[in-house]
Amino acid sequence: MPELLQESLTFTNFMIFLAWGVVMLLVVLGFVTYAIYFERKVIGWMQLRIGPNRVGPLGLLQSVADVTKLLIKEDTIPRKAERELFILAPVITFIPAFTVVATIPFTERLISSSLNVGVLFYVALSGISTIGIVLGGWASNNKYALLGGMRSAAQMISYEIPLVISIVGIIMMTGSMNLNTIVEGQAGGFWHWNFLPQIIGFGVFAIAAVSELNRTPFDLPEAESELVAGYHVEYSGFRFAFFMLAEYVYVFAIAGLTTTLFLGGWHAPLPFLEFIPGIVWFLLKFSFIVFFLFWLRATLPRVRVDQLMGLGWKVLLPLALINIFVTALYMAIAM
């Protein structure tokens, strides 16, 4: 794929790009379908329950049945809702979630796009989803949906700031925002991976990423005990499925980005293990991060909204700024 990007666009190249896009879409949709299944299984295992076991062997078709049910359910739109914006909101939320996946390099050659501003591209596009969430809450003409949308916007904006600042240390050390270059700089063993010199940034990034995903313990936008179901309370059928799909696609994107930025991407943890294909190492690290997100949901209670905002502005933001100064000081001394 990187070689094709240097060539002029021909019909053959266009068809290759189109086929690659379809393949990536199928991979991501397959991940979403079975991430839901494995999340329910993992949480069931941790809480001494069985989990899905009825539809298909070992319950493997349970998520397929759930998705099918959502797609064929009646699509209802409130009579006094802003119809056009109500329809548009799930699309605005989902499209950026899928687009950011294009920046993640899976191996040295399995790359969708090699952008010199890959980190900036990811951050810029992921922020657009906030607009879709607020729009969905506002267009529903429901005060509870609006409260959920505004709460979600406040949370996502508050945690996007430390999330972005926590990556600055890596950019300073690498001298590039190209994700491929960042991974290449982590070759040679786990002691070269960025999570060690950037341990403060890694901690801030991990916490902020969980909040960005609106997942437990930071699932305040969907606090059903307070807001009925948050910003998508009026949505049903396939439009509701779009919101849920966007959440799990972002799980895919955040797990891939964390692997790329902090855990060496496709590189082996020890040099003598480099004979194992890079995609295997990437998937192992990726799967561990996804499991960690499931683990958090099974064990931690939801925090209060004041605790959520206080953590973002009073703890994570100062730590992210301190990480930049510590990195700059280290680089000045090392040089």
How high is the pLDDT of residue 97? 85
Torsions phi, psi of 264, nearest 5?
80, 5
Average pLDDT on 275-300 reads: 94
Domain boundaries in the chain?
A: 80-334
Q: What is the DSSP string of 244-263?
A: HHHHHHHHHHHHHHHHHHHS
What is the percent of the chain with per-residue pLDDT over 70, rounded to a whole number?
95
The single residue listed with the structure tokens 């992210």 is: 320
- Identify the CA nearest to 104 among candidates 186, 197, 178: 178
- Identify the CA nearest to 58 among candidates 73, 71, 70, 41: 41
Torsions phi, psi of 105, nearest 5?
-85, 125
Q: For residues 152 and 314, what is the distance between their CA atoms, to the nearest angstrom?
A: 19
- Is residue 266 within 8 Å of residue 105, measured between CB atoms? yes
How high is the pLDDT of residue 15? 83
The single residue listed with the structure tokens 């909101």 is: 89
Q: What is the DSSP string of 63-79?
A: HHHHHHHHHHS-----T
Above 90 in pLDDT, residue 303? no
Confidence class for position 147, pLDDT limits 50, 70, 90: confident
Mean pLDDT of the chain: 88
Quick one: which H or E segment has residue 126?
helix 118-126
Residues in the chain: 335
- Identify the CA nearest to 289 among candidates 25, 31, 116: 31
Average pLDDT on 56-77 reads: 89
Average pLDDT on 21-37 reads: 88
Q: For residues 38 and 41, what is the distance between their CA atoms, to the nearest angstrom?
A: 5
Global model pTM greater than 0.75? yes
At 123, list the tokens: 């951050």
Task: Sort residue 189 into left (φ over 0), alpha (ψ -120 to 50) or beta.
Answer: left
Average pLDDT on 149-169 reads: 91
The single residue listed with the structure tokens 């890694």 is: 202
The 10s digit of each residue's pLDDT in 222-276 is: 666 665 777 888 898 888 888 888 889 999 999 999 999 999 999 999 989 989 9
- Is residue 202 within 8 Å of residue 194, measured between CB atoms? yes
How high is the pLDDT of residue 110? 79
Confidence class for position 1, pLDDT limits 50, 70, 90: low
